[in-house]
């Protein structure tokens, strides 16, 4: 009956539109206005062709006005979902058991403050062997968020009631000998674009500051099943851009005079400062990579579609993805193991195995570095030091010219602009975008307005060109298990956002001069290779221990 009712509504609406179209008498769009519009779209028509167009353009205008009456909410899906898998690709589809190394000899520190920088495995051991309770651990991190949250401008809201309920359930499970996952009883934070019943989901911007969505996001549900404890909703740049939100600019814990970059600003800043053991971020174009690089976190940006986005803010349907931001690679693997998967609502999501083994043999991997991005750097650059470290460990590092002439930045930003403008079209047309904090030309209010003038034809052309880029990049990237690139290099970041390839960003040197440690990014040459890149990153961290550096202000 529900389907029949919906069909009847569609028929009535379409009939109304046809009636509306048939009653058009006055022309609202003139031939002179067509001439002016042609300049924006690199077009030129004859007078006769313009005369032929007028009636249809006016009919279109009426239909647009009809469409605007819907004011579609952000959670209405796009049925044309993106799939990064090309016909020639093949994958292992069998999930193997993962044997996590939870040590048995971890002791409580003499100074409780040191718990702030314990790894997930260490905290999990303390909980498993009853040296601390989840309630106590959650209280410890909530108190750190209260102490330092305003300093970093990284917390939008604490979720103390939810935290205590979940922590008590975790403690009850431990008392019965139940161990669901390494995340059981571990506190964490969510970027504040994920809905959780009974909490605000602000998107970091005044127009949505009081928004409450009666839904639990998929990633939150996955973490709840794993036994993790939500203690905070964390700051994000407005509508997932940059690090500025209605509470200020999220700060870099290594240098409070600098921002944390974004848009997963609070997730990176709070994790690196030891305000919580891990956090969840999202990326459309650099929003996990950039704050992880700038703050010295270990951020895993998975393959597109690896984690269902249901219950998360939609920005660009064909590019948005979710990933963990942690302090080391094995922590990221532990979190990812619990959150990856698909659901029936996010049709772009796909469940694929994550066969992580932390004892991977580096010498059996095909590793290359992006020659055109690294060879021109100074001899003492962190990137070249990373390559030397790997070679000294017996890794055969090959040379690779990363594709750099495919206009990937222009393709990606066009897709991002068109889709985000559609996702927030009601905000733009309502005029409430004037309430947003960031009003300069390069930020979302103007970004959305100008994107309204991207023609549908050009958007679809760009999507088709994206497919051609994917076809060209696949044989080049898939030769290697790991491709080493500078973290903030634009072309590798943009290309892998278009192709859907995963990457992990992590510290690559010693912090100096009041700055965070330098960073490096390891790209997975193949889709769904998170297990390989996480294990590779773990081995690198065992060789260097750069991830064990912490910002001095927050170690007390």
Quick: pLDDT tens for 305-327.
999 999 999 999 999 999 999 99
Per-residue pLDDT at 19: 44
Quick: pLDDT tens for 336-373.
999 999 999 999 999 999 999 999 999 999 999 999 99
Q: Percentage of the chain with pLDDT > 70?
A: 95
Mean pLDDT of the chain: 94
Per-residue pLDDT at 389: 98
Of the candidates 144, 109, 153, 116, the residue with the CA atom closest to the CA atom of residue 555: 116
Quick: pLDDT tens for 267-283.
999 999 999 999 999 99
Name the pLDDT band for 27 (thresholds 50, 70, 90): low
Quick: pLDDT tens for 133-163.
999 999 999 999 999 999 999 999 999 999 9
Name the pLDDT band for 331 (thresholds 50, 70, 90): very high
Per-residue pLDDT at 417: 96
Quick: pLDDT tens for 47-71.
999 999 999 999 999 999 999 998 9
DSSP state of 194: B
Judged against a pLDDT cut of 60, whether residue 14 lies above it is answered with no
C-alpha angle with apex 504: 442 to 94, nearest 5 degrees? 125
Per-residue pLDDT at 6: 43
Q: What is the mean pLDDT of residues 486-505?
A: 97
| Beta-carbon contacts of residue 332 (< 8 Å; ≥ 6 apart) | 278, 298, 299, 300, 324, 325, 326, 504, 534, 537
Of the candidates 446, 432, 428, 444, the residue with the CA atom closest to the CA atom of residue 208: 432
More confident residue, 23 or 293: 293
DSSP state of 391: H
Question: Tokens standing for 21?
Answer: 């179209």
Of the candidates 335, 322, 325, the residue with the CA atom closest to the CA atom of residue 123: 335
* Cα(60)–Cα(32) distance, integer angstroms: 17
Which has the minimum average pLDDT: 5-9, 445-449, 532-536?
5-9
Q: What is the mean pLDDT of residues 90-117?
A: 96
Judged against a pLDDT cut of 90, whether residue 195 lies above it is answered with yes
- The residue ranges of DSSP E strands in 292-439, in sequence order, are 298-301, 321-326, 367-370, 397-400
Per-residue pLDDT at 22: 43
Per-residue pLDDT at 10: 40
Annotated catalytic, 434?
no
Annotated catalytic, 264?
no
Cα→Cα distances 385→126, 158, 241, 254, 261, Å: 36, 40, 32, 22, 25
Q: What is the mean pLDDT of residues 31-55?
A: 94
Name the pLDDT band for 405 (thresholds 50, 70, 90): confident
Name the pLDDT band for 201 (thresholds 50, 70, 90): very high
Annotated catalytic, 191?
yes
Judged against a pLDDT cut of 50, whether residue 15 lies above it is answered with no
CATH topology of domain 116-404+466-554: Amidase signature (AS) enzymes (3.90.1300)
Catalytic position from the list 119, 128, 181, 191: 191
Judged against a pLDDT cut of 50, whether residue 553 lies above it is answered with yes
Per-residue pLDDT at 16: 47
Judged against a pLDDT cut of 70, whether residue 12 lies above it is answered with no
Per-residue pLDDT at 404: 87
Per-residue pLDDT at 451: 95
Question: Tokens standing for 289?
Answer: 């990579």
Catalytic position from the list 263, 319, 420, 478: 263
* Cα(259)–Cα(248) distance, integer angstroms: 10
Tokens 């030769």, located at residue:
479
Catalytic position from the list 138, 287, 319, 338: 287
The residues facing 368 across adjacent strands are: 398, 483
């Amino acid at each position: 009956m529900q389907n029949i009712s919906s069909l009847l509504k569609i028929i009535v609406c379409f009939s109304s539109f046809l009636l509306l179209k048939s009653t058009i008498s006055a022309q609202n769009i003139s031939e002179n206005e067509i001439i002016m519009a042609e300049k924006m779209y690199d077009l030129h028509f004859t007078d006769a062709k313009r005369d032929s167009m007028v009636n249809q353009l006016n009919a279109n205008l009426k239909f647009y006005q009809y469409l605007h009456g819907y004011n579609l909410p952000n959670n209405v899906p796009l049925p044309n979902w993106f799939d990064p898998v090309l016909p020639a690709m093949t994958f292992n589809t069998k999930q193997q058991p993962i044997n996590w190394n939870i040590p048995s000899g971890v002791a409580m520190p003499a100074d409780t403050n040191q718990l702030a920088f314990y790894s997930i495995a260490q905290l999990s051991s303390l909980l498993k062997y009853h040296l601390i309770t989840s309630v106590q651990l959650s209280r410890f991190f909530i108190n750190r968020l209260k102490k330092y949250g305003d300093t970093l401008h990284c917390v939008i809201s604490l979720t103390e009631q939810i935290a205590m309920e979940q922590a008590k359930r975790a403690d009850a499970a431990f008392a019965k000998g139940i161990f669901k996952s390494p995340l059981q009883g571990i506190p964490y934070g969510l970027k504040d674009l994920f809905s959780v019943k009974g909490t605000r989901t602000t998107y970091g911007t005044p127009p949505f500051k009081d928004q409450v969505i009666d839904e639990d996001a998929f990633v939150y549900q996955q973490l709840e099943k794993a036994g993790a404890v939500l203690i905070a909703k964390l700051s994000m740049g407005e509508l997932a851009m940059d690090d500025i939100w209605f509470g200020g600019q999220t700060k870099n814990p290594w240098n409070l005079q600098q921002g944390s970059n974004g848009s997963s600003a609070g997730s990176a800043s709070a994790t690196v400062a030891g305000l919580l053991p891990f956090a969840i971020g999202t990326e459309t174009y650099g929003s996990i990579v950039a704050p992880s690089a700038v703050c010295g976190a270990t951020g895993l940006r998975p393959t597109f579609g690896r984690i269902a986005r249901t219950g998360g803010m939609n920005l660009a349907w064909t590019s948005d993805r979710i990933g963990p931001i942690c302090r080391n690679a094995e922590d990221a693997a532990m979190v990812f193991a619990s959150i990856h998967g698909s659901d029936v609502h996010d049709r772009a999501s796909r469940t694929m195995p994550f066969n992580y083994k932390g004892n991977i043999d580096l010498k059996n991997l095909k590793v290359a570095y992006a020659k055109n991005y690294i060879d021109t750097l100074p001899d003492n650059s962190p990137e070249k030091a990373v390559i030397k470290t790997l070679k000294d460990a017996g890794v055969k590092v090959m040379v690779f010219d990363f594709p750099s002439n495919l206009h990937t930045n222009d393709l990606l930003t066009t897709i991002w602009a068109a889709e985000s403008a559609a996702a927030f079209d009601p905000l733009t047309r309502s005029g409430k975008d004037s309430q947003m904090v960031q009003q300069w030309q390069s930020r979302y209010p103007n970004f959305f307005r100008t994107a309204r003038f991207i023609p549908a034809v050009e958007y679809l052309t760009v999507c088709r060109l994206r497919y051609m880029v994917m076809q060209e990049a696949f044989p080049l990237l898939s030769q290697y298990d790991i491709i080493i690139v500078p973290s903030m290099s634009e072309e590798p970041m943009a290309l892998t956002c278009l192709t859907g390839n995963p990457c992990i960003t992590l510290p690559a040197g010693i912090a100096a001069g009041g700055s965070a440690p330098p960073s490096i990014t390891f790209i997975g040459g193949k889709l769904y290779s998170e297990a390989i890149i996480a294990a590779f990153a773990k081995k690198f961290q065992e060789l260097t221990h750069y991830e064990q550096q912490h910002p001095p202000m927050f170690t007390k």
